[in-house]
């Protein structure tokens, strides 16, 4: 079976350029997120861990930027818990002739004994899916040798003190896998609490102004109350041990 037909048989989350004009039909804007997260332009000689890798876009990008070793991990998506599978990652790795390694492991089971430690850890779009966000960051800290890049949904933007919204059902985007919405102050505080010495918020997108302007439209799309929608956005933090 040719590559294009194989691609068409998979439900993709990531848009990955496989070469020869074939780009996987992902549902998210990976290139836009890549610009926001501030991944170093070169990773020569570095080791990289991609937690919640799914189809592997960021894993393959780290390899493309020269990383000496990249380990992609996932559990929920690869194990069939969501609507995705590991088929996309496996096909993309083969098509790209990639040497990215894989390990099917839950984020809550990460430890130096299980996976080792890495110069750069990518924790992108995972934190708000955690029932125990602080504990999950402790696990991530344990496998970080130097730097963490964290991207996440946040809530309660207008609350100054650290606070976390809890979604016991499917309040966020009608998705029961979304459990929490920390505000930026809570994300920063949790990162310091687990042991990161230096923490910097490098991106907020959409901006607070954008949330005010477009919240009515987004509320209609997601079914969320208008006031709640106004307090949602996404942020990127860089943290160092």
What pLDDT was estimated at residue 237? 98
What pLDDT was estimated at residue 171? 81
Which among 9, 28, 25 has a CA at the least distance from the CA of 17? 25
57 in Cβ contact with 98 (< 8 Å):
no
What pLDDT was estimated at residue 91? 98
pTM: 0.92
The residues, ordered by sequence, that sit 6+ positions from 195 with a Cβ below 8 Å of its Cβ are 141, 241
List strand residue ranges (DSSP E) for the chain, in order: 17-19, 22-23, 47-51, 69-74, 101-104, 118-124, 144-154, 164-166, 180-182, 198-205, 233-240
CATH placement of domain 3-240: 3.40.50.150
What pLDDT was estimated at residue 174? 79
What pLDDT was estimated at residue 212? 55
80-131 tens-digit pLDDT: 777 789 999 999 999 999 999 999 999 999 999 999 999 999 999 999 999 9
Element (H, E) at 134: helix 133-142
Higher pLDDT, residue 151 or 232: 151
22-52 tens-digit pLDDT: 999 999 999 999 999 999 999 999 999 999 9
Q: What is the mean pLDDT of residues 171-178?
A: 83
pLDDT above 60 (res 172): yes
Which among 211, 159, 219 has a CA at the least distance from the CA of 187? 159
């Amino acid at each position: 079976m040719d590559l294009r037909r194989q691609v068409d048989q998979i439900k993709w989350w990531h848009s990955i350029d496989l070469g020869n004009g074939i780009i996987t039909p992902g549902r998210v804007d990976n290139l836009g997120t890549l610009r926001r997260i501030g991944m170093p332009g070169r990773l020569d000689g570095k080791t990289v861990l991609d937690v919640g890798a799914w189809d592997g876009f960021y894993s393959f990008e780290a390899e493309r930027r020269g990383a000496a070793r990249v380990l992609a991990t996932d559990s929920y998506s690869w194990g069939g818990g969501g609507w995705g599978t590991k088929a996309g990652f496996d096909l993309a790795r083969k098509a790209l002739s990639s040497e990215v390694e894989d390990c099917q492991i839950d984020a809550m089971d990460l430890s130096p004994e299980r996976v080792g430690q890495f110069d750069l850890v990518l924790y992108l779009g995972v934190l708000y899916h955690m029932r125990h966000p602080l504990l999950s960051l402790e696990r991530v800290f344990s496998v970080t040798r130097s730097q963490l890049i964290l991207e996440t949904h946040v809530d309660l933007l207008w609350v100054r003190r650290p606070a976390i919204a809890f979604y016991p059902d499917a309040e966020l985007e009608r998705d029961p896998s979304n459990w929490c919405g920390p505000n930026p102050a809570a994300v920063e505080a949790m990162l310091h609490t687990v042991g990161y010495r230096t923490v910097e918020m490098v991106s907020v997108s959409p901006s607070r102004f954008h949330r005010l302007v477009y919240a009515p439209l987004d509320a209609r799309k997601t079914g969320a109350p208008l006031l709640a929608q106004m307090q949602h956005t996404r942020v990127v933090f860089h943290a160092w041990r």
